[in-house]
Structure 1
Amino acid sequence: MKKKMMYGLFFGDSITYGEYDGVFGGWVDILKRYALQQYSEGGNELILFNLGIGGETSEGLVKRIQNEMTARNAEDGNIVFIGYGANDLAVKDQKQMVNPEQFKVNIEKAILLALNFSKEIYLVSILPISEEIAGKISATGKVRTNEEVLVYNQILKGIAIENSLNYIDFHSAFLEDKEILLSKDGVHPNEKGYGMMAEIAIPIIEKYL
């Protein structure tokens, strides 16, 4: 039987990119190594692309998703992961970077574009923020609150339900132990946190291996 070769495309911000994980390189990189190992043991080939850009909002996603997917389009199909909101909800210079209404429009627009290339789309929840930095100005001049995280996650959940897409709830997984799963900046996971995200995501990519 001919083996399948699919692509997994991970769109997102620095949490997709894996910032601040000097050990594993973030959750997507862990998945990449896992998929490669499964392939070398006789599984299907699943090539994962980490398309995370630090600081990006859903505005950037809408601008680039079409080109990125056209450039990486596997014959046997593509799996798309969309992880945005942590920058969108941030307030910078007294102004929210992307308000909830616009965020919803952007994510829906990105999904429409992605559907031309893929039927397998996963929306990724926003992580909770450490109590120490919630509501305070970060090094990058951004203010984030856990109330806003809930509002934006609700939007993502709603979009997933309306469009019969999959929702990956990292938020619930982090909630109780967030203070030990987040790095010093209170926004990005540390290697423990990224490891946990990978553990949750492995059964998802397992289906395609």
Structure 2
Amino acid sequence: MVIHYTAIGDSLTVGFGAMPGNGFVPVYKRLAEHKLQVFVAHDNLGINGLTSHGLYGYISQSTTFRHLLSQADIITISIGGNDLIRAANSIRGTGSEFNFNQTLRDCKINFSRIMESIYQLKTNSKRPFIIRAVGLYNPFPQVETASYYVQQYNRYLESYTSGTFAVANIYGSFRGRERELLSLDQVHPNGHGYRIIAEQLNRLGFRPLA
């Protein structure tokens, strides 16, 4: 038996900031193999710089994305971080919170479309499957508005929790430990940070796969 794992999302899915093989996707794959005692074949469709709107576009239009998602037993999603970074960059020096609020609304809309599209692709699936989302941490701990955005977005992700969907909420694990868990760019996780993400995903379990 082979379990098919498809990872979609931004640079966190890519594993940017860590040595090859140390991103959360390959680490989570290995943890899943240990837990399920089967070989896990995986496809990493992560794209650096991808926004929530961009991911929805790929799921809507890319035959590769659509095929692999339709066949996947495990799906992970990391998205929303680049939306936050763009909003943070746009308000520096202005003190305006408008862009954060607009970004939050747009992210929620895009994520709902992403989930709806994935479930449509899985409508005729005869195999059980799980979807796991990676919650956001705050790479801008000095910006209070960013913390509010991150927590509101994470709560929205958790509203989708079901028998097939769960969220790895990593906000608390990274808060106050940014210097320890982020790479030199102070935006992306380092190998230790990615390991924490993979372990949080693993703790969510694999039912109904096992």
TM-score by length of 2: 0.75
Could you list the runs of 5+ residues in structure 2 that have no partner in the other structure?
92-98, 123-128
Counterpart CA distance in 1 for 2:51 and 2:69 is: 23
Could you list the runs of 5+ residues in structure 1 that have no partner in the other structure?
135-144
Please list, as runs of the form range in 1=range in 2, the aligned pairs for 1:10-49 lying within 5 A after superposition.
10-22=7-19, 24-36=21-33, 43-49=37-43
2:138 maps to 1:128: yes
**Identical aligned residues as a percent:** 24
Q: Is the 8 A contact 1:183 1:190 kept in 2?
A: yes
Counterpart CA distance in 2 for 1:46 and 1:168 is: 20
Shift of 1:110: 0.4
2:169 is aligned to 169
Q: Which residue, 91, 104, 114 being the options, matches 2:118?
A: 114
Shift of 1:157: 2.1
Q: Is the 8 A contact 2:10 2:49 kept in 1?
A: yes
Secondary structure of the structure 2 residue equivalent to 1:126: coil
2:155 is aligned to 157
Shift of 1:78: 2.5
Shift of 1:205: 5.7
Root-mean-square deviation over aligned CA pairs: 2.9
1:63 is aligned to 57
1:90 is aligned to 85
1:168-209 CA-partner distances (Å, limit 9, x unpaired): 111111113222111111111111111222222233465546
Q: Is the 8 A contact 1:7 1:48 kept in 2?
A: yes
Counterpart CA distance in 1 for 2:146 and 2:14 is: 22
Number of residue pairs matched? 190
Give 1 or 2: higher helix fraction.
Answer: 2
Secondary structure of the structure 2 residue equivalent to 1:194: helix
